[in-house]
Copies of this chain bind each other. A is one copy, B any other.
Amino acid sequence: MCEANVYIEAHDGMGEILYLENVDVIRPEDGQLFIKNLFGEQKFFDGHIKEISLIKHRIVLARK
């Protein structure tokens, strides 16, 4: 499968925290990021995309 895991930058900029696994869809919506995974779990995140690396199945978000 070609989903990715979504991580959030830690507050201190050291490392990342897993936010949602097996993500399929991300799109900006109402000033936030709407995120949905393969199992229908949905989250809204108040931030932006910092990096996508599909080969590594990684998407990193940063808080606003």
Contact = CB atoms under 8 A, between A and B. Distances in A.
Interface of A: 1-4, 23-28, 38, 48-55, 57, 59
DSSP class of A's interface residues: helix, strand, loop or mixed? strand
Contacts of A49: 26-28, 49
Copies in the complex: 2
A54 B57 CA distance: 10
Contact of A25 (B3, B23, B53): B53
Contacts of A3: 54-55
**Residue picked from A2, A24, A51, most chain B C-beta under 10 Å:** A2
A24 B54 CA distance: 5
A59 B48 CA distance: 15
